[in-house]
Every structure is written in structure tokens, then in C-alpha cells.
Amino acid sequence: MNPQKNESIFNLTVIVAALGYFVDIYDLLLFTIVREPSLKGIGVDISDSAKVIAASTYIINLQMVGLLIGGILWGILGDKKGRLSVLFGSILLYSVANFLTAFVQTTDQYAYARFFAGIGLAGELGAGITLVSELLPKNKRGVGTSLVAGIGLFGAVFAYFTYQATDDWRLCYKIGGGLGILLLLLRISVAESGMFKQIKETSNVSRGNILMFFNNKHRFRKYILAILIGLPTWYVIGILVNLSNRFAGKIYGENNVDSGKAIMYAYVGIAIGDILIGLVSQYFKSRKKALFLFYGLTIISGILFFSAFNNSDARMYTVCTALGFSTGFWAIFVTMGAEQFGTNLRATAATTIPNMVRGALPLINLLFNGVLQGSMKIGLVQSAMITGIIVMTISIIAAYFTEETFHKDLNYVEGGES
């Protein structure tokens, strides 16, 4: 028997999941917003572009590795112990890590603090999307998850204005820790997934076994494709927008671009895009058609980023906003990941898939920074262009072969066959 579903997309679980993702994004993007002042605060010479890029890449790479490890940890726990246990545990960890970040004095300390924050932050989105996907009927879950992502992504905007208001990057991390504790109190009122309760009572169903993604060719293929379709989001944010001030200097010369402000504008675009893509998906009655539409917008925005059109600070911010909007498919991407798999693996999938994409940023950085600029001696702009072409090609091919999940019934379990 199917568990009764709450028909409203504005129910308590959706609202609390959205607020949870809001705090998650605040903490996740805070480093990119306070990057240069915080590096200056721990003694990095910000007049030296190479040192700034090296230190910031090191810190964000460790944060992303933390997200990758945390995604696996919390995903397994979400299917074994329940979606809510993940939300409570992850919030506690990243709240403590944020408080500790406020007191770092060296690049290594900063990187290690963000590593543990990354582990904590990894559990928030996947568990929230899983709960919402299992709560809402299939004709509304795309809109519900888009609402979660759309509201949540404004956390980056809040982080930017929090820094502007306080002008104190250490205080911003303390505020992030405080927001996490407040969120923990809100979580107490959220109920566990009915689908999870059903399979928990079934003793012969294997739950949270990550090896099941690899012991069956069909599941493995679905899992890899689900990861690859999300790669453009972190290429855009982690490279183009994060280093927008450096690109401005190469593309049109003297500038006053603030990368933190560029991140803020991009996330306004992403938030709007993530809300709209749910409606676009409903209109097409297809996740894939909506995804391909936004891929096309990403390519157009990327061309504008490197073109002669991008010749002033105002236009750089405009293009970053357009890039953000066009990569506003994070909600649909994560929803598709959750919809690909049965209830006994859904939290593991929905939590590991987005964090595998986040964890892929170090590899994208390696291609961009190490192979192309380091080994091949290609300049910053040319390296970013080649990296973008490679990333978009991989994602478009993966999306083509990905299963359409718009009409899929989620009340089923995965078998353990090999």
C-alpha cells in the first residue's frame, strides 16, 4: 500500500528542507565570497595572483573532498538509519566546523576546517530532496524540489550581504554556525519518510549498500550518468564565477570586479533558474527536455563570458548572472538522481550524486589549472574555454543516455542481483 502523500508543495517538510538548503548554501559558498579578505587575514599576499589562486584552490579542493566523503557517509546512513538522522548529524558537524573556521590562522588550518565542514554539509541536500520526493505525488515532486533548491540557493545572496553588513569574515562563519543550530531546532518537527518506514520493517531488503551501484551494470550506468549530467554547475561556479575578477583582467584589462559580488549575482540567477526549471519540466512533462534547454542557455552564456561583449565590470556581473540562471538545473539534476533508484538506495543516491559532482571540482581544477595551464602552458582564458568544452560535451552525452523519470513511481526497492 502506498503511503499517503501530502498534496501541498508548501507543507512543513518542503519549507524546512528549503531553509536547510538555504543554510547549506550559505556555508558552502561563504569561502568563495570572503575568499580574498579571509586569505589576507591569514597572511596570504593577495597582490600575488598565483599565491591567491593556489591557496584558494587548495582550500576549496579540500572542502569538496570533504563533500565527496560526506556524501558517501550520509547517503549510506540515510538509507540505513533514516533521512532525519542524517539531517541532525550533518547539521551538528558543519555548525561546529563553521565556528572553528572563525578562528583559523593558517592556510592549512583553514583548509582542514573547510574539509570537516564539507563532510557535514554533504548530508543536507540529498536527505532533504529524498524526503520531499517521497512525500509529494509524482506530478508535483519536480516543483517541490525546485522550490527547495530555489529558496535554498538564496543562501549565497544572504552570505554576500552578511559580509557586506559586517565586513568581518570571521563573524560570518560564526553566524553560519548559529544558523545551523537554529535549523537543528526546526528539524525536530519534521516527520520521517513513510516509504522509508515501510522498507525499514522489511528485514530482507538491503538498505544503503553503496556496492549495489557497482554490482549491477544497469544501476552502475544510471549512477555514472546521473553524476555526469551535473558537472557544468561547478565548472561555472568553481572556475568562471569564482575567478571572475582574474578573468576580467585577462579579457578586458583594468577592473574592479568583486568575485564575492559575482557569486551573489550568479546565485540570484541560479535560484530563479532552479524555481523556473521545475515549471518548465512540468510544462514539457519531461526532466530531460528541461535539462537540455538549460544546457543550451549555459553554452550561450559561456560564449558571452569569453566574447567581446564582456568588456566592463557591469557586463561581467550581467554575464555571471546569466551563467547562474542557465546552470539553475541543480534541482532537476538532484531530483533525477533520487528518481533513478529504489527507496532502499534513494538517500544514498540523492546524497552521493550531487556530492560526487562537487567532489569532481578538484578534477576539473586539475584539468584547468594543472594540465592545461601547467603542462601545456596555455593561458587562463584559453584553459577555461577548453575545460568548458570538455565538461559540456561529457554532460550533454550523459544526459542523452539518461533515463526519463518524470512519470516514474518511486514506491519500489532495488534488488541485490549482480
CA distances for 220 relative to 200, 213, 362, angstroms:
24, 5, 23
The upper half-sphere exposure of residue 128, i.e. CA atoms within 13 Å in the direction of its Cβ, equals 35
- Residue 373: band (very low, low, confident or very high) from pLDDT cuts 50, 70, 90: confident
Q: Give this prediction's pTM.
A: 0.81
Residue 6: in which H helix or E strand, if any?
none
What average pLDDT does this structure show over 315-322? 97
- Residue 418: band (very low, low, confident or very high) from pLDDT cuts 50, 70, 90: very low
Q: 248 pLDDT exceeds 90?
A: yes
Task: Please tell me the predicted confidence (pLDDT) of residue 2.
Answer: 44
Please give the DSSP secondary-structure letter assigned to residue 44.
-
What's the chain's average pLDDT? 86
The single residue listed with the C-alpha cell 530531460 is 288
Q: 334 pLDDT exceeds 90?
A: no
- Range 378-405 burial, b when 16+ CB lie within 10 A, else e: bebeebbbbbbebbbeebbebbeebeeb
Q: 3 pLDDT exceeds 60?
A: no
Task: Please tell me the predicted confidence (pLDDT) of residue 115.
Answer: 95
Task: Please tell me the predicted confidence (pLDDT) of residue 131.
Answer: 78
**Do 271 and 150 meet the contact criterion of CB atoms below 8 Å apart?**
yes
CA distance 19 to 22: 5
What share of the chain in percent tops pLDDT 70? 92
CA distance 316 to 295: 20
- Residue 6: band (very low, low, confident or very high) from pLDDT cuts 50, 70, 90: low
Task: Please tell me the predicted confidence (pLDDT) of residue 257.
Answer: 93
**Do 47 and 18 meet the contact criterion of CB atoms below 8 Å apart?**
no
Range with lowest mean pLDDT among 33-42, 124-133, 299-308, 374-383: 124-133
| SS (HEC) of 188-200 | CCCCCCHHHHHHH
Question: What pLDDT, in 10s, does the model give residues 39-91?
Answer: 999 999 888 878 888 898 899 889 988 988 988 888 888 778 776 777 778 88
Question: What pLDDT, in 10s, does the model give residues 193-237?
Answer: 555 556 666 656 777 688 888 888 999 999 999 999 999 999 999
Question: What pLDDT, in 10s, does the model give residues 104-137?
Answer: 999 999 999 999 999 998 887 777 787 787 778 7
CA distances for 225 relative to 221, 229, 337, angstroms:
6, 6, 9
| SS (HEC) of 373-403 | HHHCCCCHHHHHHHHHHHHHHHHHHHHHHCC
CA-based radius of gyration for the chain = 20
Instruction: Pick one of 1.10.8.10, 1.20.1250.20, 1.10.150.130, 3.90.1210.10 as the CATH number of 12-200+209-401.
Output: 1.20.1250.20
More reliable by pLDDT, 103 or 153: 103
What average pLDDT does this structure show over 155-178? 93
CA distance 145 to 417: 31
Task: Please tell me the predicted confidence (pLDDT) of residue 117.
Answer: 93
